[in-house]
Amino acid sequence: MFFNALLIALREIRRNLMRAFLTVLGVIIGVAAVITMVTLGQGTTQAVKNQISSLGSNLLVLRPGSGFGPRSTSAGVPRFTTQDAQAVMEQVSGVAAVAPVAQTSLSTIYLQTARTTQITGSTPDYFQIGKWTIGEGRLFTDLDLRSGAAVCVIGETVRRQLFGSENPIGAKIRIGKSSCEVIGLLTAKGQSGMGDQDDTIVVPLSTLQRRLTGRTSARSVNQINISAEDNTNSDAMIGEITSLMRQRRNLSPNEDDNFSVFDTRQIAETLSSSTKMMTMLLAAVAGVSLLVGGIGIMNIMLVSVTERTREIGIRLAIGARAREVLLQFLVEAITLSCVGGVVGIGIALGLCYFLAQVIQVPFQFDTRINVIAFIFSAAVGVLFGFTPARRAAKLDPIEALRHE
Amino acid sequence: MSVAPSTPPPLIELRRLTKTYGKGDAAFQALRGINLTINKGEFVAVMGPSGSGKSTLMNLLGCLDTPTTGSYLYQGIPVETLDADQRSLLRRHALGFIFQGFNLLARTSALENVELPLLYRGIPRNERHALARDALASVGLPTKMRNTPAELSGGQQQRVAIARAIVTGPSTLFADEPTGNLDSSTTEDIMELLTRLNEDRGITVLMVTHEDDVASYAKRTVRVKDGHIESDLSKAK
Ligand SMILES: Nc1ncnc2c1ncn2[C@@H]1O[C@H](COP(=O)(O)OP(=O)(O)OP(=O)(O)O)[C@@H](O)[C@H]1O
Ligand SMILES: [Mg+2]
């Protein structure tokens, strides 16, 4: 009986290719939309996570002014100094390492190639706090720091753009008005939504202050990076740092803080929760398209219901039992839905693979969403394909034949 | 006819059969108490004015519809006690039906249309093809097997419908105006076909018609009017 139903169902599909195609199209669009949206959304979430974890965990950043991002204000606020960094290292408990960081943008030239690069001046601890590892050559040392040696460590992007296929180690590049020897190449962290972390040159803080930016801002730095020891309570630590800095900056109790402490873990949580929300939003939009696909299927089924009801009437009249007719319709609906589901998944994966490269997020195959989208679309197809048949198969053949 | 216990039951026996369409105010009684007995091997024409209930009666006899009241015995089986599936099986194995309006599957070749009842009987592919071809040949359509109903004339469609009805070798054939929209020469062909089926294969034939010369092929004529049987005449031998 099942083989018969399959045979009849396949004949019926072959006979009505246009109807079958339109039905399948609804399923394909629905499945492809949901899978693409969710997969790309998850890729974005993953990209943000990767980026955050590459910043370093347990990382606190101390900056003058208030706020972080576009509304931050630091105008007229005293900057931090290397002494502030020293004080944090000595007086706050649970601190693993502290790195004062000064940054400036300068033109960098190697032979005929010039570009503007963000130059970071810091101490050797900067690499450990920021989870940077050396790819080739070496990092600068405390000795380089003390002597203000003209050495620099470059990121992968800088290497690619300035040196191309040449070996950068030992080469001299011009940064601003001085010349610097490249002693190390940092392992790439990769590109992600928040910008290119590998587009960087790191020099000893003293080198930046003395050679590159001049003596005017000798001791001041842009920010202080602090890494906490494992298992420290970052809230308590932020409290300690805040009171220490208020004291060092002579703020009276009724004055607001003129600096801020950021905890990357908190930023990470905020960011990943917002990308999760975005994923859910995308999934909701995609769910709507799945629904629209379903309505499309239903439409086609309703349009053909008169013809199909007559078909059912004919089949019943020549001796088919209701359950045989139903089985045929079920097989038809399942076949179409499954074909649609598989094609939809294929298109979605191709699309994801392509789009993930375009928007530069990792492509992650998520079995769960594929299965869910497939089952849901198949259910929609079967429901809409099967329901009119169920109604018709209950009729007396003569009533079904008279249907208009 | 004596009612001895050894006598096999008549093929068809209707007792006070009624059919009411609709409910309440809209109710319409299309059949008002039909008593009719038909024996195996008969060729019966059902005549009557339009709307008199001929198609209704044929649909009930063909087990396509259920009577409102009264009893219908087919070979002694009380049809009104059968459920829809059992009636389907009865149609599948014993009855053939030719509809007033062909009722062929659209976009489906003549051969596949004729094969359809065999498919539900579970007949293997080769035998199915052979039987369907034979049936189409016996209605004079051996060359149009691949054509769909849309590519066939009215008379050819009617022949496909007849082939579909006889391909299973039914014991009873119901034909609702089989020549309704055919010209006189095609009508003659089809009536000769039905006569042959009745005489050579012993198939009982019940046929609705408006035309006297079509009815003259039958050996018995039942006239229906307003849901009653008005007259029931057998041809003298
Ligand atoms: N499904 C239905 N619902 C309501 N009334 C119906 C239905 N089918 C038939 N009738 C009514 O029952 C009566 C008998 O109909 P039927 O189709 O049996 O007539 P008929 O004798 O076959 O006519 P014709 O020669 O025109 O085919 C008609 O008055 C018709 O209006
Ligand atoms: Mg009629």
In chain A (404 residues long), the average pLDDT of successive 10-residue segments reads 82 86 85 87 80 72 73 70 90 91 90 90 91 91 91 93 91 91 89 72 91 68 88 84 91 86 78 80 81 77 79 92 88 86 92 87 84 82 78 85 81
**8 Å CB contact of A320 and B66:** no
Q: Are A262 and A60 in contact (CB under 8 A)?
A: yes
Distance B20 CA to ligand 2 centre (A): 16
Q: Which residues have CB under 8 Å from A220's CB, separation 6+?
A: A79, A80, A81, A102
**8 Å CB contact of B88 and A322:** yes
Q: Are B48 and B225 in contact (CB under 8 A)?
A: yes
Chain A residues whose CB is inside 8 A of the B168 CB are 319
Task: Write the DSSP assignment of A148-178 as a string of letters.
Answer: T-SEEEE-HHHHHHHHTTS--TT-EEEETTE
**8 Å CB contact of A317 and B84:** no
Q: What is the predicted ipTM? A: 0.92
Q: Please tell me whether residue B82 adopts helix, strand or coil conformation.
A: coil
Domain ranges for chain B: 41-52+83-234
B41-52+83-234 CATH? 3.40.50.300
**8 Å CB contact of A317 and B122:** no
pTM higher than 0.80, yes or no?
no
In angstroms, the separation between the Cα of residue B1 and the nearest Cα of chain A is 34
A94 φ/ψ angles, rounded to the nearest 5 degrees: 85, 5
Q: Which residues of A112-143 are buried (b: 16+ CB within 10 A; e: fewer)?
A: eeeeebbbbbbbbbbbbbbebeeeebebbeee
Chain A residues whose CB is inside 8 A of the B85 CB are 321-323
CA closest to A8 among chain B residues: B119
Q: How far apart are CA A330 and CA A325, in angstroms?
A: 9
Task: Write the DSSP assignment of A175-244 as a string of letters.
Answer: ETTEEEEEEEEEPP--EETTEETTS-EEEEHHHIIIIIS-STTTTEESEEEEEEPTT--HHHHHHHHHHH
State CA A151 to chain mean position distance: 35
Which position has the higher pLDDT, B186 or A133?
A: A133
Q: Which residues have CB under 8 Å from A86's CB, separation 6+?
A: A98
Q: How far apart are CA A315 and CA A325, in angstroms?
A: 7
Q: Does residue A257 belong to the interface with chain B, where contact is any CB pair within 8 Å?
A: no
B4 has a pLDDT exceeding 70: no
Q: Which residues of A248-260 are buried (b: 16+ CB within 10 A; e: fewer)?
A: bbeeeeeeeebbb
Q: How far apart are CA A299 and CA A302, in angstroms?
A: 5
- Supply the angle between the helices B125-138 and B110-121 in degrees, to the nearest 10: 130
Q: What percent of chain B has pLDDT over 70?
A: 96
Q: How far apart are CA A220 and CA A56, in angstroms?
A: 24
Distance B51 CA to ligand 1 centre (A): 5
* B55 touches ligand 1 (CB under 6 Å): yes
pLDDT of residue A366: 84
pLDDT of residue A42: 84
Which H helix or E strand runs over B73? strand B69-74
B2 has a pLDDT exceeding 60: no
Q: Are B41 and B32 in contact (CB under 8 A)?
A: no
**How many alpha carbons fall within 13 Å on the CB side of residue A372?**
14
pLDDT of residue B195: 94
Q: Are A222 and A100 in contact (CB under 8 A)?
A: no
Q: Are B193 and B160 in contact (CB under 8 A)?
A: no
Q: Does residue B106 belong to the interface with chain A, where contact is any CB pair within 8 Å?
A: yes
Q: Give residue-wise pLDDT tens across range B156-179.
A: 998 899 999 999 999 999 999 988
A326 φ/ψ angles, rounded to the nearest 5 degrees: -65, -40
| B89 closest CB neighbour out of A11, A311, A319 | A319
Distance B79 CA to ligand 2 centre (A): 22
In angstroms, the separation between the Cα of residue A399 and the nearest Cα of chain B is 8
- Supply the angle between the helices A322-358 and A17-55 in degrees, to the nearest 10: 40
pLDDT of residue A22: 84
pLDDT of residue A192: 54
pLDDT of residue A67: 60
* B26 touches ligand 1 (CB under 6 Å): no
The residue type of B110 is A
Q: How far apart are CA B109 and CA B150, in angstroms?
A: 10
